[in-house]
Amino acid sequence: MRFAIFGDIHGNLEALTAVLADAKERGCTHYACLGDIVGYNANPHECVEVIREMDCPVVKGNHDEQASMEEDLAGFNPLAEEAINWTRANLSAEDKQWLRELRMVRQVRDFTIVHATLDTPQRWGYVFNNLDAAASFSYQHTNICFYGHTHSPRAYVRDGVVTSVPFDNLRIEPGKKYFINAGSVGQPRDGDWHASYVIYHADKNFVTLRRLKYDIDTAQDKIVDAGLPQRLADRLALGK
Ligand code: ZN
């Protein structure tokens, strides 16, 4: 059984299309989405529609939360805030309702999915180091948890102590716990512009990181045409 696990799509329909085509080609039959479907890029409604129709497990991201509320924007930088305001205006009432109803944490078969952290998922903290990961691990009841939010693929492993590794192919060993970041579909920030997601080979106990080319020119043109900040188009190419 192969799961495609992906998140931080952020309204980038070109990247999402490339990821789903690759997952299908690679024999994935199941999907799980780590949240932040909207925000930053120009096709939030279309991305919500695609993922809603997939009918797969999805958890809520901070942009999904902000874009579907009416309240003020707390804790967002000006660039994200401008994008969120634009996104709110470009989602239907039905889209917002669906986003509002997403859960923060879900168990899918033998693994867990969350957008940010397991210790306080609603506070949207970032796991950037072994200490942050250790806090999350203490709330992790499955061997593997996939998460997003940092837009940077990374695997934390708890085997007594917590260590972290970048990975291409990660073997899942019994007795250890794994907190695995799938990177970002629609706005990678690890210096590599290629769309990122992971395939979990559930029967073979390994996780593969995928990085893909997509039609970035179209995604950038749409951002500019929509009147979103030019910087949002520029950063896609820089992978940050
Ligand atoms: Zn995000």
pLDDT in tens, 139-186: 999 999 999 999 999 999 999 999 998 899 999 999 999 999 999 999
Kind and range of the H or E run holding 156: strand 154-159
Domain 2-238 classification at class level = alpha beta
Distance from the alpha carbon of residue 177 to the mean position of ligand 1, in angstroms: 24
Determine phi and psi for 207, rounding to 5 degrees.
-125, 130
What amino acid occupies position 88?
R
Distance from the alpha carbon of residue 61 to the mean position of ligand 1, in angstroms: 7
Record the tokens describing residue 182, joined without a space.
């799938």
Distance from the alpha carbon of residue 101 to the mean position of ligand 1, in angstroms: 18
What amino acid occupies position 229?
P
pLDDT at 230: 95
Distance from the alpha carbon of residue 175 to the mean position of ligand 1, in angstroms: 30
Q: Which residues pair with 170 in a beta bridge?
A: 207
Distance from the alpha carbon of residue 36 to the mean position of ligand 1, in angstroms: 5
Task: Of 7-16, 18-27, 162-171, 187-196, give the lowest mean pLDDT range.
Answer: 162-171
Distance from the alpha carbon of residue 28 to the mean position of ligand 1, in angstroms: 23
C-alpha to C-alpha distance for 68 and 71, rounded to whole angstroms: 9
Distance from the alpha carbon of residue 149 to the mean position of ligand 1, in angstroms: 5
pLDDT in tens, 64-112: 999 999 777 667 788 888 888 999 999 999 999 999 999 999 999 999 9
Distance from the alpha carbon of residue 116 to the mean position of ligand 1, in angstroms: 9
Which CA distances in Å does 54 have to 20, 57, 217, 223, 237?
10, 9, 26, 25, 28
